[in-house]
DNA sequence: GTGGCCCTGTGA
DNA sequence: TCACAGGGCCAC
């Protein structure tokens, strides 16, 4: 569920709570949640959280550990959450990792950073900064849509000659990162392109227009602190507001906000998809 | 390229 | 009871 705007919001709300704090230790409640780098757990002790940032849908913590720099990468997938609670807070039913934080490299913890994940698809990956090179997923990530021009987005989307449908290309993290089901449907609606339109049939000018609409939506969603469908919350427990601006996502069978025609539901690229047959063309 | 799988909770 | 939610991976 957390897509680019939600992960960006989590990074922004998490940063003031953990920046410059020290990790005293990490309590692994679910080994599966520590996807890689468990052997580096001892090196975490006394690591200062020097930075909180986002790349694609990944939330990254830059760590200045006593012996070496480290990098913690979290993929929240659908239901992963990061929260900071006072020391002594009991784990939740779905808590997977608990990082004890303090204001000094050693001593008493004053707060706990929880990684909770109901559906257990999310993970944390602990590595040395140069170790990202050994992470296939990282190596294949495409361009950041908010650090690119609409033309660059269009190029990345059309990058490969194929009969791929446009929505599959938008969801493909190897082309443009950060887009999930919500923002794919919303961007395609605004750009007036059917989700099942073959990529090869869409002119470059329309792809540039799609890139422009995508950037606008992502920026609006970040400004609204993301979208909360069921249970997305930022690192301070607040819901986003962008779900109130959805024009198609989750509105199958309801009237199009532009033309009042009934919105269509379909399955495209293996995902539930909603679009307007009148406003969106191949 | 497509579809099953991972997994839990929700709603019909 | 069962379809569905869906990001990424894997087998086909």
Could you report the per-residue pLDDT of A2-12, keeping only the tens digit for each?
999 999 999 99
pLDDT of residue A228: 85
A216 catalytic per annotation: no
> Any catalytic annotation for residue A277?
no
- Band the pLDDT of A239: cuts 50, 70, 90: confident
pLDDT at A161: 56
Q: Which nucleotides on strand B sit less than 7 A from a protein beta carbon?
A: 1-10
Under 8 Å between Cβ of A2 and A239? no
Output the pLDDT for position A162: 62
Percent of chain A with pLDDT over 70: 99
Contact (CB, 8 A) for A253 and A263: yes
CA A260, A226, A79, A36: dihedral to nearest 10 degrees? 130
Exposure class string for A222-234: b at 16+ Cβ within 10 A, else e: bebbbbbeeebbb
Least confident of A17-21, A111-115, A231-235: A231-235
What are the residues facing A72 on neighbouring strands?
A: A61, A126
**Which positions of chain C lie under 7 Å from any protein Cβ?**
4-9
Estimate in Å the CA A116 to C1' C6 gap, whole number. 18
- Residue of A53, A77, A128, A271 marked catalytic: A271
A279 touches strand C (CB under 7 A): no
The CA–C1' separation of A90 and C8, in angstroms, is: 31
Region A134-148 average pLDDT: 94
């Amino acid at each position: 569920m957390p897509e680019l705007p939600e992960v960006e919001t989590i990074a922004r709300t998490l940063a003031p709570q953990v920046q410059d704090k020290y990790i005293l230790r990490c309590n692994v409640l679910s080994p599966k949640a520590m996807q890689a780098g468990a052997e580096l757990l001892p090196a975490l002790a006394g690591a200062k959280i020097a930075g909180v940032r986002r790349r694609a849908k990944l939330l990254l913590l830059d760590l200045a550990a006593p012996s070496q720099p480290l990098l913690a990468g979290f993929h929240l997938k659908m239901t992963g959450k990061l929260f900071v609670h006072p020391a002594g807070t009991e784990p939740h039913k779905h808590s997977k990792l608990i990082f004890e934080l303090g204001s000094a490299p050693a001593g008493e913890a004053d707060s706990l950073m929880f990684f909770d994940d109901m559906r257990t698809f999310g993970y944390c990956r602990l590595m040395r900064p140069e170790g990202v090179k050994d992470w296939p997923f990282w190596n294949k990530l495409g361009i950041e849509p908010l650090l690119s021009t609409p033309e660059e987005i269009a190029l990345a989307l059309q990058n490969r000659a194929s009969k791929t449908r446009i929505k599959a290309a938008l969801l493909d993290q190897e082309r443009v990162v950060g887009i999930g089901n919500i923002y794919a449907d919303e961007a395609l609606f605004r750009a007036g392109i059917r989700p099942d339109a073959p990529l090869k049939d869409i002119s470059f000018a329309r792809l540039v227009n799609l890139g422009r609409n995508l950037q606008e939506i992502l920026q609006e969603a970040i400004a609204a602190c993301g979208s909360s469908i069921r249970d997305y919350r930022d690192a301070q427990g607040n819901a986003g507001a962008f779900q109130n601006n959805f024009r198609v996502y989750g509105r199958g069978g309801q009237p199009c906000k532009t033309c009042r025609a009934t919105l269509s539901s379909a399955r495209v690229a293996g995902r539930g998809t909603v679009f307007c047959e009148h406003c969106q063309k191949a």
